[in-house]
Structures are given as structure tokens and as C-alpha cells.
Structure 1
Amino acid sequence: MRRAAVVGAGAVLALAAVAVSSAEESAAAGDDAEARPMPDFLGLGLWRVFTRLPRRTRLDVHDVSGRDRRVLWPPSWQVCTQYPAAGTGLDRRTTVMIGVVRKGESCPPRVQSARR
């Protein structure tokens, strides 16, 4: 009986150590995410945005074609606009805004002139 209590206490201490180390790792990863610059997504597929941004990034995706369509299947869309600009530092408070059109469509003229 006494041995089981010692093993139980050891297991609790081991779990606490794992929890502390994982909390430190996630805090360090959070610091790295804050220091990451915004990638350049213009002209790329929307799916690339989802795979290259940190998963906790707030993201606002909207159709810039003027048709106000819902973006339900990211692989079918391409990026026309992005905010913030490429190279800008991302932090937890930044909301990334991505303007898209369906693949095969061209970006609206007003959007293309803003890209240059």
C-alpha cells in the first residue's frame, strides 16, 4: 500500500513537470510567432494562407470580385489583396485581411492597381 502511494505521488510530480515544460514551450513558440513577418500571398492560392500563418492568427477572408460570395472551399480561391503588407511583423492582436477571387478569375482592376 505504501509503495502505491509513492508511485502515485511520483506520477503526479512527473505530470506537473511535463505541464510546466509544455507551458514554457508554448510560451516560447508564442514569442516566435509574434516575431514572424507577414508572408507575401498575392497571386497564390488561399489554401497557402491557411497553411503558412500561425494557427491562432485572426483571419478575415472576403470576396473582392463585387459578388459578395462566401468562401467555403479555400483551394478554389486565389489571393488578390492582403493586409498587413508582406514583411510586416505579426502579433496576436493583428487581424490578417485577405481579399480573394475564384481561381481562373482575374483580380478587379481597382485591386490590381492597388497591388502595384
Structure 2
Amino acid sequence: MTGRPASTSPTDPPRLRTLARTRTPRRTGITLAAAAGALILCAVLTSCADDRPAAPGPGQTPTSSAATNAPRDARRHEPADGTKSAAGATPAHRAHRAGPGSSGTLLPNLVGMGLQSAQEAARGAGFENLTSHDALGRGRHQILDRSWRVCGQAPAPGRWAKDSPIDLGAVRLEERCPAGDQGRRPIRVSTTMADFRGRSLAVARAALPPDTGIEEVDGTGAGRAALLESNWRICAQSPAAGTRLHGQPVRFTMVKFTEHCR
């Protein structure tokens, strides 16, 4: 008859149990994914822990990484132009000559060689702390070593400790070596104006205090700008050499090194 509620079949419970069983693998999959994620996180944390320095054992002194790398970093940041470092010594002065009977390394004569060949020869002899500078005192960088020739070296050929700094004064291949190295001891100005006539604008700018205002005047009257300052020579300056500096701006009249001062 219509309107009577449907009777409960004895087969309903098994169907419910079947549905329940079909949900079980889904929960199991979530559980396995969570377990796998936990294992990955544990592995990451373990690898991070392995990167930390081990705790010092009994009787050992803790050593920081900064202290361990200090000598290497000091050599890495040694000025390339022979200026004084924080220790107050130029590379030439910090070389250590080997004493009689010691196991010093023989530094060959590098003068006259191409800069790249000279550096390779020094490295082949066991010296790694190498620098170079413009022997003409123009403050140019030796970007392509094969285009430069060695005019002088410090220290001189002989037996030296392997960690000694080797500084090479060089000129471009088409240039002549100067009678004396003009770039080994750069000018440094603090309170008294130096004589920059004949020097490059790059050298003058590096020598003056960093907050000094510099006016550049083309000596030919063409109004050119000194785009590459190491290619411009100073003909006149204001204030004059010996003037006490107290923050006043500086004026340089200059021409290119291939031109003559008027």
C-alpha cells in the first residue's frame, strides 16, 4: 500500500560497512603523506645541524669562523696600488726574506716580462699574493694583463717566504718604463695641498679627501669632460701646492696625456 514507510532491509548494514571500508584508504593516504613530510623535515633539520660547527671537546678552545679566515681575508683585501693597509705597511715592506739555511722560495726576476707571464711565473714558484700597479703613476687598472709589461718588482729577486706579497709595477706594451716607479707610493693629502701638476686626474681624486669638491676645466677650451680620468693630465691647479686645506673646492685645468699643456 502507498504511504507505508519502507522496511529496513537486512542488507543495509553490510553496505554501510562497505562504504566505511572505502574511506579507510583515503585516511591512510593522508597519514602516509604526513609521515613522509615529517621525515623530509627531519632530514632538513639534521642537515642544517650538520653545518653548524661542532662543540669543542674537553681542553679545546672555541674558534670562530671569522678568526679562522682572518689571515686569508686580509690577503684578499690587500690594496692593489701599494697603499698602506690597516696594518700600516705596504706590500713591499711586509715581505719576509728567508734567512740563511731556511726553506725560502726563490722569487725569479720578473722585470721585462709580460704582466700575465710574470704573474704565472711567480705563481709557479709558489707565490700567490700578487698585486700590480701603474708604474707611470696614472692610476690605471691592469684589466688585460697581456697588454702590460713589468718595469719593476718588489721585493727584488731572491729567496722569500711564500706568503710574501709580490707587487709589480707595469706599463702598457706601447709605453716605455719610467726611470723610477711613480706609482708605488701614491700621494695622500690630508690638510696641505699637494702638487698634482703632471699627474692624472684619477690620481689627484684618489689622493684628496673624499668630500673635496673638484672642478674640472678642459685646458684646450673645448669644454670636454674627463670621462676616463686616468687619461687626463693636470696642467694647473688651484689652490697652489702647500696651501692649507679646510674644505674648500679644488680646480684643475687639464688636457689629455697625448696633448700639451698651454
TM category (shorter chain) comes to: 0.5 to 0.7
Matched, 1:101 2:239: no
Distance 2:249 2:217 in 1: 13
User: Where do 1:1-116 residues align within 5 Å?
Assistant: 33=190, 36-92=191-247, 94-108=248-262
Please list the CA deviations of residues 69-116 of structure 1 after superposition, one character each: whole Å capped at 9, or x if unmatched. Answer: 111110110000100000000112x110001101121001xxxxxxxx
RMSD: 1.5
Distance 2:235 2:229 in 1: 14
AA aligned opposite 1:77? W
Distance 1:73 1:91 in 2: 28
Distance 2:235 2:204 in 1: 12
Task: Looking at secondary structure, tell me which structure has more helix per residue.
Answer: 1
Question: Higher relative contact order by CA 8 Å / sep ≥ 6: 1 or 2?
Answer: 1
Unaligned 5+ residue runs, structure 2? 1-189
How many residue pairs get aligned? The number is 74
What is the TM-score with the length of structure 1 in the denominator? 0.60
AA aligned opposite 2:260? S
Query: Does the residue aligned with 1:98 lie in a helix, a strand or coil?
Result: strand
Distance 1:39 1:66 in 2: 25
Q: Which position in structure 2 is the counterpart of 1:16?
A: none
Question: Offset at 1:58?
Answer: 0.9
Query: Does the residue aligned with 2:223 lie in a helix, a strand or coil?
Result: coil
What is the TM-score with the length of structure 2 in the denominator? 0.27
Unaligned 5+ residue runs, structure 1? 1-32, 109-116
Structure 1 runs of 4+ with >6 Å offset: none
AA aligned opposite 1:47? A
The higher radius of gyration belongs to 2
AA aligned opposite 2:221? G
